[in-house]
Amino acid sequence: MRHTEFAPFYRSAIGFDRLFQLLDQTTSFDADSTYPPYNIERTGDNAYRITLAVAGFSPEDLKIEVKEQTLTVSGGKSADTADAKTYLHRGIAARAFDRRFQLADHVDVTGAKFENGLLHVDLVRNVPESKKPRTIAITGGKPTKQLEAQAV
C-alpha cells in the first residue's frame, strides 16, 4: 500500500520503488520497535555490527534470517521453558520479538556471535567492481568528423 504523500514520486520516478517502500516503512513507527534495545556501529570502512541486548534468551531461542534485503532477528521462548518458573518479580523482559533491519544493496551478513546476553551480527558491504567509482582517462586528439560537422 502506498502513502499518498509519495504519489507524485511514484508517477515520475522509475526504478525507485524500493526507496519509497523504505520511506513508507520508516514513517510508520511501531511502538514495539524499541524491544529489544540495539546498537548499530561502524567497525570499518565497509563493515558494520548490530548488537542486540537479548538478556534472558539463549542462542537456541534466537533466529537470524535475511530475505530480500531485510535482516530479521527474532526471539522467543519455547512453551515448556517459559512456564517452568514462578516469578515473584520479573524485571528482565524475555517476550517474543521480531526486529527487522533494511539492508542496503550489496550488504551481506558475515556472521553472528552470542556472548554475555548480547547478540552481535556482523555485516559487510561488498560493492562489485562494476559499481565502484572508476577514473576515465582523457586523451588528446583531433575531433571526429561528426563533431566537426556540428561545429559548422
Q: Are the C-beta atoms of residues 89 and 110 closer than 8 Å to each other?
A: no
Shared domain check, 84 and 17: no
Residue 99, SS3? strand
pLDDT tens by residue, 30-74: 545 688 999 999 999 899 999 999 988 999 999 999 998 899 999
In a domain, 148, yes or no: no
Shared domain check, 119 and 56: yes
> CATH no. for residue 104?
2.60.40.790
18, three cell numbers: 524500493
pTM recorded for the entire structure: 0.66
Closest listed residue to residue 55, CA positions, set 97, 111, 2: 97
Q: ∠ CA(119), CA(96), CA(30), 5° rounding? A: 95
pLDDT tens by residue, 51-63: 999 988 999 999 9
In a domain, 149, yes or no: no
